[in-house]
Amino acid sequence: MNKIILPGATLGVLGGGQLGRMFCTAARSMGYRTLVLDPDQHSPAGHVADIHLQADFQDQHALARMAAQCDVITTEFENIPADTLRFLARSTNVFPSPEILEIAQNRQAEKQFALKAGLTPVPYFAIESQDDCTLAQAAVPFPAILKTTSMGYDGKGQQLVRQADELMMAFQIMGKRPCVLEKKIKLSSEISVIVARNADGDMQCFPVSENQHIQGILHTGIVPARINEKISERVKQQAFKLAQSLNYIGILAVEFFVENNKTVYFNEMAPRPHNSGHYTNDACVTSQFEQQVRMICGLPPGDTRLLSPVVMVNMLGDLWEPNWWHILQHDNIKLHLYGKNEARQGRKMGHYNVLDTNIESAIDTAQTVFSKIKNAIVDN
């Protein structure tokens, strides 16, 4: 039995975005104190935390203060220096571990680990130099997608390569940074699984989400996913296998591609709560944020049952400010805003969850509401 951290303790979060905000809200409702370290004085999580340390993620003085005040520390995004976690881990509990963070920060390392754990990554070839481009042309069928090995998310750091003779130019456009070239999958669907694991190895899985993207950014999550039960069980078991192989503690999001409604490929993982899990705030017995609290505090996993079919819709800074009446007139829509002080193109500003007894009806309502918001802003 590992150490159990009970309400009254202080939980730390590295990162002050919306994921940290929702984590802090869940933690505080359970009776924990929260401390957020983030350099932005207007950070959404900092606004709701008990303590906001406004400092750089590599400020050792601030990190020492954080470690001294927190019983356990977690992250809300993965692009934090692993050395920051190593520094903190000398004097307090930190999840995920620095080693897991480094795997998640590198596409090639991530794919290699997933393969070792028994998952099947999308066919790919690692490119670190122009000479590797020639080898990649023979190894990966085209069209393909060139992705930077690090710092890629929400469609950033990616480029479609339609044919082999475009690869060298695409690599140069990427700044000749280390990349992976992936086969472009003929998608039936993109899905994600959120698995929870505590230090005792107890695991629970949330229902599979079917994810639809616009320009590389998640737009809609549909739960239950419209996939057959065999695929649903397969990806859940693969998510369990990955979490077990990592000896993971916390919430782990695992994304998959489905080809021809039968072949499943591992895409990537996120060692934290995930955008595709926002439906759990309203549609499950336990939200992914409460579950993260439970996992890092050594508590048993909460019930992950789906209480209602649900469709989650992201709201970006491209469409701001919306007419909230289009959402709030519906008694089956739950609105979540992130408290960000500036709207920018592609920036996630909030989301809404549509709950209905029928998933197709939920999809229709979600699409109708989004169209009304978009058209009202365009007309203005």
Domain ranges of the chain: 10-94, 123-183, 187-379
Helix and strand numbers (H, E) in the chain are 13, 18
Is the separation of the CB atoms in 163 and 144 below 8 Å? no
More confident residue, 191 or 153: 191
Q: How many CA atoms lie within 13 A of 140 on its CB side?
A: 30
Q: Residue 320 in contact with residue 355, Cβ under 8 Å?
A: no
Cα 183 to Cα 103, 300, 307, 322, 373, distances in angstroms:
21, 40, 37, 38, 36
Is residue 350 scored above 70 in pLDDT?
yes
Q: Could you tell me the pLDDT band of residue 158, with boundaries at 50, 70 and 90?
A: confident
The conformational region for residue 72 under phi > 0 = left, psi -120 to 50 = alpha, else beta, is: beta
What pLDDT score was predicted for residue 152? 62
Q: Which two tokens stand for residue 206?
A: 């949330």
Architecture per CATH, 10-94? 3-Layer(aba) Sandwich (3.40)
pTM above 0.85, yes or no: yes
Q: What is the pLDDT of residue 180?
A: 94
Between CA 348 and CA 75 the distance in angstroms is 18
In the chain, beta strands by DSSP E: 10-14, 33-37, 51-53, 72-75, 93-94, 124-127, 144-148, 158-161, 179-183, 187-197, 203-205, 209-214, 217-223, 250-259, 263-270, 310-316, 333-337, 348-355
Reported CATH class of domain 187-379: alpha beta
Report yes or no: 350 and 339 within 8 Å, Cβ to Cβ: no
Radius of gyration, CA atoms only, the chain:
21
> Nearest Cα to 362, choosing from 375, 376, 352, 372?
352
User: Model confidence over 6-56: pLDDT tens digits?
Assistant: 999 999 999 999 999 999 999 999 999 999 999 999 999 999 999 999 999
Does the pLDDT of residue 184 top 70, yes or no? Answer: yes
Q: Is 291 helix (H, G, I), strand (E, B) or coil?
A: helix
Pairing of strands 144-148, 72-75: unpaired
The model's confidence at residue 1, banded by pLDDT at 50, 70 and 90, is very low
123-183 CATH fold: Dna Ligase; domain 1 (3.30.1490)
pLDDT band at 3, cuts 50/70/90? confident
pLDDT confidence of 154, banded at 50, 70, 90? low
